[in-house]
């Protein structure tokens, strides 16, 4: 059971921002409150993918309202994730600090694969337990996620850059719906989906499930207007197509179940869903109540109950890249031990940095499977750009930076990439790798490791370095490398002479 009786998830999508608050009980998560803001952030991207000021202001106003509702909750009890628009906006990194200040909590920009994984987890937890293999489809505002999996475990996932906001803007910007525009929108969607057909077509799954706004809205309209008796069907979509073409404009579509906030994005969402049914051979699709924010809540609980999916991902990557597990464990052990001296405490921020440091230590040699020459650069590239389940882009970037700088020369520009605490983590990783250079279980007895401004002081047991001239030599070199960038590293006692 988690230490927090109440947890919250914030889903910053391209069409809507959503906040879900739940109480943790032995029976599972019990919803307490839910807030939705139709921000249409994806509609605020110009031709250069720049997020315009008006869209930023809408987002900040919504985030401030969310922040008021979240007041009093510990940081570790809240997880906010941002999706497609944050991923593609050219000024996302400039906007992110303002968004975090408005919300009052950190915001993770997650990749498409991670978004897909969390969607599947959320959908699976809202469906009856079953052994059947499911295809889960989530048409968002800027991207659509596709996942095939069983129970709570996704087996295959894809994210495509087509969403109800972007498709509606591209093909139906003025609201007009013509046979030519609708055919063009469906054709363009089918072209995007074509590479996925061989892996996602009927036969690879037993039941199709839709989730989030577009799927729910389509399901409501089909059922409430007698176009389908259960869920979304191919026949029902054909009937809805005729309704849209007859109306000829989104403002003239008169259907039970069509909410005002869904009307502007209806034609784009419909075109994408129709293309999915056609390309994957779907005849009927059920709709799940759970999606991304429910997946975020369950993932948050797992992180707090020692079932962190990130640890499983680290193990999988070690296997994939044939990492020397004993060496990785040595480096992780001594690195984490030194960090406990340097940054004592149990704040959520400190604990998360410690986890990222240890995981970086466990993965610092993944690049060796590519080349021994400059392997740290290969390792850093893999950690930054690979799809690693459970990790946000910021987490991967931090591990990548740590691994890139874990040996070799340092520079002030590299050090400027790190916060004060992260610089301490880097010092621990560099020293950990140095002490484990012999790849043997001969770790140094450390008495203390402390920091005062730009001065780091590492105290070893007297005499340990006397019989280890190579380690003493590389330690002196390390002291010189830090000195070049204005940082003093003191190691005592160093051997005399």
Helices marked H in 174-291:
179-193, 197-200, 212-224, 234-247, 266-280
Residue 303 has pLDDT above 90, yes or no: no
User: For the segment 146-199, what is each residue's pLDDT rounded down to a tens digit?
Assistant: 999 988 888 999 999 999 999 999 999 999 999 999 999 999 999 999 999 999
* Structure confidence by residue, pLDDT tens digits, 455-496: 999 999 988 888 888 999 999 999 999 999 999 999 988 766
With H, G, I as helix, E, B as strand and everything else as coil, classify residue 485: coil
- At the top level of CATH, the class of 308-443 is mainly alpha
Domain at 6-110: CATH code: 3.30.420.40
Of 158, 87, 82, the closest CA to residue 120 belongs to 158
Each residue's pLDDT tens digit, 403-426: 999 999 998 888 888 999 999 999
Across residues 31-53, what is the average pLDDT? 91
Strands of 455-460's sheet in order across = 446-452, 455-460, 488-492
Res 111 pLDDT > 80: yes
Question: What is the overall mean pLDDT for the chain?
Answer: 92
What is the pLDDT confidence band of residue 281, given thresholds at 50, 70 and 90? very high
CA neighbor of 395 nearest in space, from 433, 431, 360 = 360
Percent of the residues in the chain that have a pLDDT greater than 70, as a whole number = 98
pLDDT exceeds cutoff 60 at 497:
no
Same fold, 6-110 and 308-443: no
Q: How many residues does the chain have?
A: 497
Under CATH, to which class is 128-287 assigned?
alpha beta
pLDDT in tens, 182-194: 999 999 999 999 9
Among the ranges 28-37, 61-70, 292-301, which has the highest mean pLDDT value? 61-70
Cα separation of 202 and 210, whole Å?
15
225-255 pLDDT, tens digit per residue, is 999 988 999 999 999 999 999 999 999 999 9
The 8 Å CB, 24+ separation contacts for 182-188 are 182/241, 182/244, 182/245, 182/267, 182/271, 185/267, 185/268, 185/271, 185/272, 186/271, 186/274, 186/275, 186/278, 187/275, 188/162
Reply yes or no: is the peptide bond before residue 484 cis, omega within 30 of 0: no
Q: What are phi and psi of 168, to 5 degrees?
A: -65, -40
Beta carbons within 8 Å of 482's beta carbon, 6+ residues apart = 410, 427, 456, 488, 489
Tell me if residue 49 falls in helix, strand or coil: coil
With contact defined as beta carbons under 8 Å apart, do 376 and 367 qualify? Answer: yes
Please determine, for residue 304, whether its predicted confidence score (pLDDT) is greater than 80.
Answer: no
Task: Tell the residue number behind the tokens 């401030």, with chain if given.
Answer: 64
pLDDT given for residue 1 in this prediction: 43
- CA 369, distance to chain mean position in Å, is 26
Listed by start position, the domains of the chain span 6-110, 128-287, 308-443
Residues near 238 by beta carbon (within 8 Å), at least 6 away in sequence:
none
Q: What is the pLDDT of residue 379?
A: 95
- The sign of the torsion formed by the CA atoms of 67, 391, 109, 366 equals positive
* Nearest C-alpha neighbor of 163 from the set 62, 41, 20, 248: 41
Q: Which of 3 and 371 is assigned the larger pLDDT?
A: 371
- The average pLDDT across 431-437 equals 94
Q: How far is CA 481 from CA 331, 400, 425, in A?
A: 20, 20, 16
Question: Is-above-0.85 flag for pTM?
Answer: no
Beta strand 446-452 with 488-492 is: unpaired
Average pLDDT over residues 103-111: 93
Structure tokens at 342: 């340097």
For residue 58, what pLDDT band results from cuts at 50, 70 and 90?
Answer: very high
């Amino acid at each position: 059971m988690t230490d927090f009786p109440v947890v919250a998830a914030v889903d910053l999508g391209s069409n809507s921002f959503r906040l879900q608050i739940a109480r943790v009980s032995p029976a599972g998560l019990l919803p307490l409150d839910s807030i939705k803001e139709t921000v249409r952030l994806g509609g605020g991207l110009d031709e250069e993918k720049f997020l315009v000021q008006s869209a930023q202001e809408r987002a900040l106003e919504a985030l401030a309202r969310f922040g008021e509702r979240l007041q009093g909750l510990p940081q570790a009890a809240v997880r906010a994730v941002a999706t497609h628009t944050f991923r593609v906006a050219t000024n996302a990194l400039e906007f992110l600090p303002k968004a975090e200040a408005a919300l009052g909590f950190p915001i993770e920009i997650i990749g498409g694969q991670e978004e897909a994984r969390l969607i599947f987890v959320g959908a699976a937890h809202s469906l009856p337990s079953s052994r059947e293999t499911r295809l889960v489809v989530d048409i968002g505002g800027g991207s659509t996620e596709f996942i095939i999996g069983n129970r709570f475990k996704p087996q295959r996932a894809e994210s495509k850059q087509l969403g109800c906001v972007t498709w509606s803007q591209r093909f139906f910007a003025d609201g007009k719906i013509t046979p030519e525009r609708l055919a063009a929108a469906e054709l363009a969607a089918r072209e995007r989906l074509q590479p996925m057909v061989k892996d996602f077509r009927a036969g690879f799954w037993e039941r199709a499930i839709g989730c989030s706004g577009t799927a729910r809205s389509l399901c409501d309209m089909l059922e409430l207007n007698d176009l389908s008796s259960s869920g979304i069907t191919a026949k029902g979509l054909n009937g809805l197509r005729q309704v849209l073409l007859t109306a000829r404009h989104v403002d003239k579509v008169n259907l039970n179940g069509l909410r005002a906030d869904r009307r502007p994005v209806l034609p784009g969402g419909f075109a994408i869903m129709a293309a999915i049914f056609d390309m994957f051979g779907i005849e009927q699709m059920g709709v799940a109540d759970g999606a991304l924010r429910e997946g975020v809540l369950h993932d948050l609980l797992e992180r707090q109950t020692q079932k962190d999916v990130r640890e499983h991902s680290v193990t999988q990557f070690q296997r994939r890249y044939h990492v020397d597990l004993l060496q990785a464990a040595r480096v992780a052990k001594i690195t984490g031990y030194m960090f406990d001296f340097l940054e004592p405490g149990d704040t959520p921020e400190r604990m998360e940095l410690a986890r990222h440091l240890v995981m970086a230590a466990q993965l610092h040699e993944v690049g060796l499977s590519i080349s021994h020459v400059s392997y740290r650069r290969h390792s850093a590239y893999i950690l930054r750009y690979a799809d690693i389940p459970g990790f946000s882009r910021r987490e991967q970037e931090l591990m990548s930076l740590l691994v890139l700088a874990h040996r070799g020369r340092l520079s002030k520009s590299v050090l400027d990439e790190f916060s004060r605490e992260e610089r301490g983590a880097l010092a621990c990783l560099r020293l950990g790798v140095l002490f484990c250079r012999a790849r043997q279980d001969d770790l140094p007895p450390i008495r203390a490791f402390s920091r005062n401004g730009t001065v780091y002081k590492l105290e070893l047991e007297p005499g340990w370095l006397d019989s280890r001239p190579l380690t003493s030599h590389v330690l002196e070199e390390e002291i010189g490398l830090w000195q070049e960038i204005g940082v003093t590293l003191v190691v005592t006692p160093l051997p005399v002479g």
